[in-house]
Structure 1
Amino acid sequence: MDKIRIIGGNRLNGVIPISGAKNAALPLMIASLLTDETLTLENVPRLADVRQLTNILVNHGVDYGVNGKRIGEDLLTGQTISLTARSITDTTAPYELVSTMRASFWVIGPLLARMHACKVSLPGGCAIGTRPVDLFLMGLERLGAQLDVEGGYVVAKAPGGLVGNRVVFPKVSVGATHVIMMAATLAKGQTVIENAAREPEIVDLAKCLIAMGAHIQGAGTSTITIDGVDRLRGARHRVVADRIETGTYAMAVAMTGGDVLLEGAEGSLLENPLDVLRQVGAEITETNSGIRVRRNGHGIVAADVTTDPFPGFPTDLQAQFMALMTRAKGTSHITETIFENRFMHVAELARFGARISLSGQVATVEGVESLKGAPVMATDLRASVSLVIAGLAAEGETTVNRVYHLDRGFERLEEKISRCGADISRISG
């Protein structure tokens, strides 16, 4: 099993290209099931999750192609893929595939909308909590689906097709908003989603669906209106920049010092975390090329954050911010409101000498003068990169184990930051 080895203490200077957003690419790929024409996606990150979703879509009969490498192309930039679901050959999403990746459950929306029947395995729990699918099922039932749970599978039917309706989510869910928005594009009549997620990835999916012929208004607000159409066509769409990767590397620069241009980053996608970084002592400048990050000469100071749905502070940056706060001057409080069990990185950060105490949903971090390198173990995707950030600033050697978590969500991380001066390498095991 691969490991990441880091010798800490180097500043980061240079350019880091920001990849397309994994959290946008996955629902966009699933949207290919809605049409029998080709959907071409540009700027798709080269990630384990993308490869796994490809296998799942192929299982349903989707033809998949990747554009060949072009002259002068940098492998740190995204790829272009084409997906064609000319015929859906299998409407069952089996447990052995869905269990490897929660987002694959989202195929239930397009399959039900287009084929009027499907059988999809329940995804089960995961390391950061149960993340139930009750909101998905409630929304589909509102659109007229008949749902039964049998042997760990959701058996869904919509004789005659889905029918538009009012769907009110009791709490914000990005996944459920994705699924109901996709399903409603082919439903008869109008669907109104209230208390919808507002994340940029929702907006990006809506833009793609509109290019495919869908009628959608209000994406990016809490109320989304979809007027169903008879069919969708193919389209070409560029995946939005990854705001979580952007915030992660911005925090790495704030942690280590230096001066880095995050090429292709869009500040409008993460205004809240950038404001927090300015508050703690980073200099953030938005340019035509991306976002430039530098740390001022006074070091990092403590700040309190609470995770919230967009446009609040993202839960997917909570672990990285905690790593940054371990070296801040003062005491910070980090409150996690989105997912349960999302403080598992605390024990691993403590191995560096960090001082962190937990009380329910709140982590209290007392900044220390220095961290010491240590062997650590990743517990999930975002936790794993928080350990990399700590290792970049720690004295001596750090070894991060279970880096397959990193490969799920960060494209060629060690290559990107080693180009900026980090002493980091992958050890194949």
Structure 2
Amino acid sequence: MNPGVTPDAVSVITTKRDGGALDDAQIDWAIRAFTDGEMAPEQMSALAMAVLLRGMDRREIARWTAAMVATGARLDFSDLRRDGRLLRTVDKHSTGGVGDKITLPLTPLVASYGVAVPQLSGRGLGLTGGTLDKLESIPGWRADLTVEAMTAQLRDVGAVICAAGSGLAPADKKLYALRDVTGTVEAIPLLASSIMSKKIAEGTGALVLDVKVGSGAFLADPDDARQLARTMVALGTDAGVDTVALVTDMSTPLGRSAGNAVEVAESLEVLAGGGPPDVVELTLALAREMLAAVGIDDDPADHLSGGQAMDTWRAMITAQGGDPDAPLPSAEHTDVITASADGIVTALDARAVGLAAWRLGAGRARPGDAVQSEAGVVWHVRPGDRVRRGQPIMTMHTRTPERFDAARVALDAAVTVGDAPPAARDLVRERITV
């Protein structure tokens, strides 16, 4: 585009439609104009589709992300101190998956090392449950904090999990709603900038990304997951945030539960030094990356077995109005799924389990829908386990038993039973840096 010429929607759209690279002025104008209502939704829809089909280079994505950040506030924890000592900040973001409760034990575990972990999280939509939905099953716990309350809790406790304020990258909320109804959610440049604009605006000094791949993840194709991970690591690095990504398997759901209160209960087992091996493995893998990012070389398993992580959890929950000793909600109605044949479990499909949990009431179809704290699925077998016909393999939980039939349909093909054990599958598939 010629210097000094004011961009307009049609020229921006046609530049990208024809495979050209958008210059900084075009990107800045498009994000500001759409956020302010000057650029019509149908015009941004056309631009988003052009990006999906034509892509963006690293400079374009970095500028797009920076323009998104510039539409709102940016938090600053660079001078956060406790007892006169500067606190280093590190955060983690997951692209989401079935049974992915890792944020719950991970945040207090890392914070127990004297690190500040500002974990801004969201509510679930569709099959992947939201971290805030899980925590809201704890009596009294509140997700909404002011910046002042968040900062004070980081200083005093070191760990906070709360809702992201509407002032952080407001362009993202408006653009995501548009992408959601125009078939452009999968555009890697827009997906990466959506995630990273909020994380950069959050003000953390270092970031560890958990990019899921498999049937229970947003991205099922390994190449797409790898591209997303590389794009986000580049965005973080270009914005001055020390960023690394792990690509992790989500073909089998994490742990042994998917839902809200059932996942909190499982997280408490991990914090107490137990819990499912895969949840422990991924929690520790991410914790090691987060601690390394702030210069701490230690084995985080010590703070699970030693109780320091649990102490920080209790302080974090209490600081946000929750009662860490209160019993979690339990479902009034349960129904059991049994094995249809003798043999060895060769697969447990994450997407089928997530769909069943959603149908039982653990998730929402539209923003603002209510969720059931008690709803979810607990599975009693994993790939490699031997089962007998009629053996209980899953239990469904809900307060509305009329949901059981639809959930059972989803679970009919969730467990595959065969004669030979499945091939071993690495939970952490790849580590990606700049």
Q: Which is helix-richer, 1 or 2? A: 2
TM-score (norm 1): 0.25
Answer 1 or 2: higher relative contact order, Cα 8 Å, separation at least 6. Answer: 1
TM-score (norm 2): 0.24
Q: Which is strand-richer, 1 or 2? A: 1
